[in-house]
Amino acid sequence: MTRSLKLFLTFLLTDTIFNITAITATLLLAERFNGIGMWSKFQVVFLVGYATLTEGLLEMFFGYNILFMSRRLGRGQLDHILVQPQSIWLAFFTEGFNPFTASGSVLIGLLLIIWSSIELHLHISFLWICFALLNVVASMSVVLFFCFCWSSLAFWAPRAAEEITTPLMRIFRSLDAFPFDGLSFLLLSGVTVIVPVAFVAWYPSRYLLGLDTSILNAMLTPLVALGISILALFVFKKGLEHYGRTGSQRYDSLGHRG
Amino acid sequence: MVAPARNATTASDIVVELSGVYKTFYQRQRSEKLSDIFRNLIRPQIREVHALQNISLRIHRGEIVAYAGPNGAGKSTTVKLLSSVLAPDQGTICVLGLDPWRDRRRYVNKIGVVFGQRTELWWDHPVASSFEWKRVVWDIPDERYQRMLAILKELLGLNEFFNSLARELSLGQKMRADLGLALIHEPEILFLDEPTIGLDVLAKRNVLQFIKDLNQRKNVTIMVTSHDMSDLEELAGRIVMIDKGKIAYDGDFGRLRSEFADRRRLVIETSAPLPPKLTGAKFIESQGIRHEYVFDASHVKIAALLEEASVQTQILDVETHRAPIDEVIADIYEKWQKDKATHP
């Protein structure tokens, strides 16, 4: 936007169209069958809105390189951060900040949440908003730190793990807007433990829609986010120690500070 | 402020000190054989590369030190250790009273680093944005920033491309911008890893001149690595040469020449096109009646060569000059390689 308003508006428009098409399949399914499983049509709309909002915010704040930290590590670009007089984390988070990118997703996510909330006559209290914000942050953290964890493998295997975040994000993006009720224990374990996609939208939406109002359900996603972030920090620290010993034998400027 | 002469320093001025530093890398060995692929999964073959072995080095404030050595000698590893990018396996590194790896954040505030093959510029943004970014991240007071920016713009001629996108700059402009970026926070020490790589002669001359000016005007301590020995000789009063991870020479260029070989060139113009045969001098080439030789002045007297030539032909003119430093260094590297082959 700072360089060209026309470019910004074009980008916003295409981003919005792209995001609408990405969620159309789920919305059409919900429309055709008047919901999916035990979820009504507008509950599905809420779920899709929540997932889109989470994805949009992730993209907006961390989409440039940070979410794809494996690329930075794999390409030997951590050296650029190590010569800066600030914490590595601060550098990671601030360099990934891209305020207008993905604002199309955020906009659509918010609109879908508002629309479905009105149609569902949700009782929006201050506490509900607080839990909603907490869960959105937690959902973002689940994805971010889960990717961080796997990205840290690039410390040990820079070439093999350079693009490891890409398939992870593909899994998140393709599954996060589906209700997982009715899944077998094995499959549910897959979407909660192996790839915690259930915490991106499904668990938080269940609480926010009043499908499960227990406090445990309200706090489950933040607790999972906390656990994954501790694990990610541990793995990253170990990786950084390894990096101090070995450095990076690879260097590629691709994607660096674009 | 005018800096003191490059080598006129005292022990209390030591700003860089490496003591018994070791650094070893482990490289997995791979072959195309299928059996090796499976064997490597269970028991990988690892090759130890001793990048640095017991390196001890002191650099005084205001010195320009050339750090040279053949490919794979350990130059870049040293620069990375001094830039807080790597930690030593053994030994201590103390720069400006700090440990580069442990005190990273405080330390990098006091140094500037330029890696010739990498850029710190924000690729898709104007050069000005990179400087602004640096001002914020390094927390440079506005007055200091503006003062340094004005100096750097003048010395490096940044004005002509300051508002252009970094990706649109030529190699020389990019290097000038990178140098400016490395210096905007007024570092006490500057580490330059191949700063002239890929530059044309004019850009190279400008960069070298700037480094010398900077050392003179600001008393900045500079450690520079380069493959171009004439660059290093032009810049530095002292050269540290490493080979196989060990310091092989530490002193000035003059002593380097005399210690290893006082290599000189002799050009004689004779009345006949046939070059005379000279014992102790190696014939290089003839151009008409001009014949060029190279010899080691520490072993062969020039008078003896001329006497030998005059017996064979009539000498019309004589020129002699020191061989370029690159040739001296090439001889040294060759000698090291032979030693390595003899004593692996």
Question: Greater confidence, B36 or B2?
Answer: B36
Residue B21 and residue B81 in contact, taking contact as beta carbons nearer than 8 Å: yes
pLDDT in tens, A48-91: 999 999 999 998 888 876 888 999 999 998 999 999 999 998 88
Q: In CATH terms, is domain B261-342 a member of 1.10.101?
A: no
Is B47 within 8 Å of chain A by CB? no
Number of H helices, E strands in chain A: 12, 0
| Local confidence band at A257 (pLDDT 50, 70, 90 cut-offs) | low
In this prediction, residue B265 carries a pLDDT of 86
Structure tokens at B186: 């007024």
Question: Rounded CA gap, A42 and A184, in Å?
Answer: 25
Average pLDDT in the B243-257 region? 85
Whether A251 is covered by a domain: the verdict is no
Whether A106 is covered by a domain: the verdict is yes
Least confident interval from A175-184, A220-229, A246-255, B280-289: A246-255
CATH 3.30.70 in chain B is located at 261-342
Question: Rounded CA gap, B72 and A190, in Å?
Answer: 47
Is B25 within 8 Å of chain A by CB? yes
Q: Which of A79, A244, A257 has its CB closest to that of B87?
A: A244
ipTM of the complex model:
0.77
Q: Which of B207, B51, B198, B229 is nearest to B118 (CA)?
A: B198
State chain A's mean pLDDT as an integer: 89
Residue B209 CB-half CA count within 13 A: 9
In this prediction, residue B4 carries a pLDDT of 40
Rounded to 5°, the CA angle B124-B129-B133 comes to: 115
Residue A142 and residue A200 in contact, taking contact as beta carbons nearer than 8 Å: yes
Q: Which amino acid is at A141?
A: S
Question: Rounded CA gap, A126 and B280, in Å?
Answer: 95
In this prediction, residue B261 carries a pLDDT of 65
What one-character-per-residue DSSP string does A196-257 give?
-GGGTTHHHHHHHTTSS--HHHHHHHHHHHHHHHHHHHHHHHHHHHHHHHH--S----TTTT
Secondary structure (3-state) at A35: coil
Residue A98 and residue A63 in contact, taking contact as beta carbons nearer than 8 Å: yes
Q: Which amino acid is at B170?
A: S
In this prediction, residue B177 carries a pLDDT of 93
Secondary structure (3-state) at B58: strand
| Cβ–Cβ gap B113/A83 under 8 Å | yes
In this prediction, residue B8 carries a pLDDT of 42
Rounded to 5°, the CA angle B141-B147-B153 comes to: 125
pLDDT in tens, A85-109: 999 988 888 876 767 666 788 988 9
Whether A132 is covered by a domain: the verdict is yes
Q: Which of A79, A85, A258 has its CB closest to that of B138?
A: A85
Average pLDDT in the B190-208 region? 84
In this prediction, residue B295 carries a pLDDT of 87
Q: Which of A83, A86, A87 has its CB closest to that of B85?
A: A83
| Local confidence band at B114 (pLDDT 50, 70, 90 cut-offs) | very high
Which residues of chain B make contact with A253, given a CB cutoff of 8 A?
A: 118-119, 123
pLDDT in tens, B301-317: 888 999 999 999 899 99
Is B78 within 8 Å of chain A by CB? no
Which residues of chain A make contact with B89, given a CB cutoff of 8 A?
A: 245
pLDDT higher than threshold 80 for residue B339: no
Q: How many CB atoms lie within 10 A of CB B255?
A: 13
Residue A220 and residue A199 in contact, taking contact as beta carbons nearer than 8 Å: yes
Cβ–Cβ pairs < 8 A, chains A and B: 60
Which residues of chain B make contact with A244, given a CB cutoff of 8 A?
A: 86-87, 101
Least confident interval from A101-105, B13-17, B38-42, B50-54: A101-105
Q: Which of A246, A251, A257 has its CB closest to that of B123?
A: A257
pTM of the predicted model, to two decimals? Answer: 0.79
| Cβ–Cβ gap B109/A257 under 8 Å | no
| Cβ–Cβ gap B85/A86 under 8 Å | no
pLDDT higher than threshold 60 for residue A2: no
Give me the number of domains chain A comprises.
1
Q: Which domain holds residue A187?
A: 5-246
In this prediction, residue B95 carries a pLDDT of 96
Rounded to 5°, the CA angle B213-B146-B176 comes to: 45
- Alpha-carbon dihedral sign for residues B69, B74, B76, B81: negative
Q: Which of A86, A244, A253 has its CB closest to that of B137?
A: A86
Beta bridge partners of B268: B291, B318
CATH fold of B11-251, please? Rossmann fold (3.40.50)
Q: Which residue of A has its CA nearest to B50?
A: A246
| Cβ–Cβ gap A251/B121 under 8 Å | no
State chain B's mean pLDDT as an integer: 86
Residue B94, CA distances (Å) to A73, A83, A122, B169, B226 in order:
27, 16, 63, 36, 23
Q: Which residue of A has its CA nearest to B101?
A: A244
Average pLDDT in the B75-91 region? 93
| Cβ–Cβ gap B137/A85 under 8 Å | yes
| Cβ–Cβ gap A245/B105 under 8 Å | no
Residue B269 and residue B38 in contact, taking contact as beta carbons nearer than 8 Å: no
Average pLDDT in the B280-288 region? 89
| Local confidence band at B71 (pLDDT 50, 70, 90 cut-offs) | confident
Residue B175 and residue B156 in contact, taking contact as beta carbons nearer than 8 Å: no
Whether A161 is covered by a domain: the verdict is yes
Q: How do B290-296 and B263-270 pair as beta strands?
A: antiparallel
Q: Which residues, other chains included, contact B102 with Cβ-Cβ below 8 Å and sequence gap of 6+?
A: none
| Cβ–Cβ gap B26/A246 under 8 Å | yes
Q: Which residues, other chains included, contact B141 with Cβ-Cβ below 8 Å and sequence gap of 6+?
A: none
Beta bridge partners of A192: none
| Cβ–Cβ gap A86/B105 under 8 Å | yes
Whether A205 is covered by a domain: the verdict is yes
Is B283 within 8 Å of chain A by CB? no
Using a pLDDT cut of 70, give the percent of chain A over it.
95
Whether A258 is covered by a domain: the verdict is no
Question: Rounded CA gap, B299 and B282, in Å?
Answer: 13
pLDDT higher than threshold 50 for residue B140: yes
pLDDT in tens, A22-47: 788 878 888 888 888 889 999 999 99
Q: Which residues, other chains included, contact A251 with Cβ-Cβ below 8 Å and sequence gap of 6+?
A: A75, A76, A77, A79, B117, B118
In this prediction, residue B342 carries a pLDDT of 67
Q: Which of B109, B119, B125 has its CB closest to that of A85?
A: B109
Least confident interval from A26-30, B163-167, B321-325: B321-325
Structure tokens at A163: 């693009």
Question: Greater confidence, A6 or A156?
Answer: A156
In this prediction, residue A206 carries a pLDDT of 94
| Cβ–Cβ gap A84/B108 under 8 Å | yes
Average pLDDT in the A178-189 region? 90
pLDDT in tens, A203-222: 999 999 999 888 888 899 99
Question: Rounded CA gap, B174 and A21, in Å?
Answer: 42
